[in-house]
Structure 1
Amino acid sequence: MIFLLVGFLFPLNSYCARQINIYNRCPFPVWPGIAGPGNPAGGGFRLENEQNRKINVVDDWQGIIWGRTFCDNRMRCATGGCANREQCNGTLGRAPFTAAEFSLNEANDEDVYSVSLINGYNIPILIEPFGGRGCLRAGGCISDINEICPVLMRVRTQRRGVNNNVVGCRSPCDALRSDLECCTGNFATPDVCFRSHVAQTFKDACPTAFSYRFDDATSSFSCQTNAELVSILVPMNFSPTLFFCLSVFKVVQFQNVDREITILNQCSFTTWVGIQGPRNPANGGFKLEAGARQTIYVEPTWIGTIWPRTGCDDGMDCATGSCGPHEECNGASGSPPMTVAEFSFETDGFNDTYSVSMLNGFNIPVLIDPYGPLECARAGGCYSNPNDACPMELAIQRAGKTVGCKTGCLVYNNNRECCRGVFANEVACSKTIAGQIFKAACPTAIAHELDDSNAMTCNGASYVVQFC
């Protein structure tokens, strides 16, 4: 994964632009509403299912983003509407709506962000941070609050031709108007205002979202804007993606049900996916244009690999990862160097194991992102590009540019670089050329033969394999 680089040996300031990517995973259109300095995108726009759009904000932006749903041609919305306009232009939405809140570049170079249910709930929102260090997801739900919303708090569609379904749930404060629920009056301090029974229902459904006024401890997240200078002292900037409807997570058992892996090409160039494993998913490969995605389905106990091929010509002669003269690999392995996503589903009858491996070298960053259970960690991703630090004798070059980096073991085939003999221990293995270059750039990928600390486990998830 290539992060947004916003500075080079210079401090960040309020004039630097930041990007927030808003992605609609709902099976219906959503109109994002935006309120904050600079009035980004005029305060709103329409997003169809599976569409995304990036907005630019200033480096110290403080604002909110929410979803408006079931809007008619006159922009009268069932939830979140802002004065019957597509562009809110500073007008806040009408409750109920789920809100993503940002306060960027606060004291100590920290970005603070959260998902809030203080204004009620309409659709799940997940904030997915990219960049920075120690950055965690915010929001996400394990059940749909609309399905469990108390009767007095329900909001239903009222448009002609639309089923009278529950599409929103008012907040306890908005619905009940009591000091106890609103943390006002005699309950205006955190020592006397606690999460009520109704607010607890919200918290149980969306455990990392704000459920009431004083819910900071478990729901407000911070991320170091330039927490650590990596590689050539380039600050890594937090650049979040906002997902609508990605995160109503119903954890299910996958016995006898095909598993889903979505492959997303975030590179600025075309890649060709290589796949190897039982049942030969997608015949082992396909072309993926920049920004495109494709989902494959594999058997419940699948053990296989996915890798990117780059720089391929019309005859499928690729600079990296080539599996032969065809777009479909049909069981053939790729030719190093290549970064590899590895999966082993339900090996113990329950848990999945997954990792990003550089034992075959590196061509482009690969990230495995599980979605479903909140505790499942990403694997892979890079803070800098190993190709930039690759020694010439290990480099694959095209037009004077390094496009891949082999391991020392592949090139020299000696005990030191292959972690054999007296070098068959983790300390010695970590000092190989690959162990140092790859690990520094991609700390959660497997960089050498004895580097098994970055094999992740998860149960009940689907996966996104992201290139770049």
Structure 2
Amino acid sequence: MSFRNISMYYFVCVAVHGITLANAATFSIQNNFPYTVWAAAAPGGGRQLDHGQNVFGVGGARIWARTGCEFNESGQGKCQTGDCVGLLQCQGYGLPPNTLAEYTLNQFDGQCPSELQTPCGRNNPCTVFKTDEYCCNSGKCGPTNFSSFFKERCPDAYSYPKDDETSTFTCPTATNYKLAKMKLESLSPFFFPFVALCFTVATAATFTIRNNCSYTVWAAAVAASAGGGGKRLESGATWDLNVKPGTRGARIWARTNCQFDEAGRGRCKTGDCGGRLKCKAYGKPPNTLAEFALNQYKNLDFFHISLVDGFNVPMEFSPTSGLCKKGIQCTADIVRQCPKELKAPGGCNNPCTVFKTQQYCCYYGKCDPTDFSKFFKARCPNAYTYPRDDPSSTVTCPGGTNYKVVFCPIGSPHLEMVASMSQEE
């Protein structure tokens, strides 16, 4: 889901300006695109914005643009991206892909310890220090000075992963609830979603990357590994990645025919990421992509295999824990069958990479499948093949699920062909 232009993270240019008022923040949302978008805000808001139009609204926790929408007079309908359960006036978060402006206001009145401060909020100590003392990754752990700071100010809220279970409340089914604003001299009403985001007990997801190809690949991971990710994998080798909760816009791919020096500088025939062994940027097409976002809408993980950057190595992307069982494979003989217009050394390009037109790249508005996208879809029906492909190509699992990404998965009918081809090159 390339996150440049498909699936979960289709980037939309929306200008959001914060204007300070006496007791509230007003956000001016402007549409500078030549086409209509449907602005959305959670909690509770949404409206159509034609080109150049503005809308003013008082705070929420998340703002985004929806595209390709149709609504009836009662505000019921659907959108191609960012849809919020078919409502014009959103009551919840939008369905990915959607670019998000997220914020919290008036947090902690400047009392936050300096070690936990960030430009846009206040960190939990686990986020900063990443040690068992603060993250409770194993066994029992107790309160710390930092968790006590939060607990003193919000005694009923969870402040660390093994906090007092009485901080969770129960009520009979069908109970009604309200969220009341607090006095201005106390905490902002947006404190509560902040606490929920920071202190929900969430564990890192383990991604096991395995090379089942008969040749060496150089696995790459961006946004899934702190400081950049990449590792040489001989045939049969694995690489385990612990990916932090809430990770978005992440992708894993295989690079082929690489050469690197001792400093980790070099180049690859396919999937090269600026000549680095440990990638800090996305790879150069063509490359088969495993893309994902963790702990998103309703605490679900979203993942898929994407061919929007082309194809170089067969791939499997599957859950390995919990009750989630559905995985995805793309193991077809795409390199050898690749249309001549899309052929590339070591792989098969997506048509957007070659032609760079609206027809193939879906830069804005609606677009349809093409003969080239149908070529990929016929061979890998569960993979994303163009930016507006069937949303069912994205699979969801509960947050906290572990996964595996396998290059040249066992049982691939074209495994030997792909391996020998790479070795020859």
TM-score by length of 2: 0.45
TM-score by length of 1: 0.41
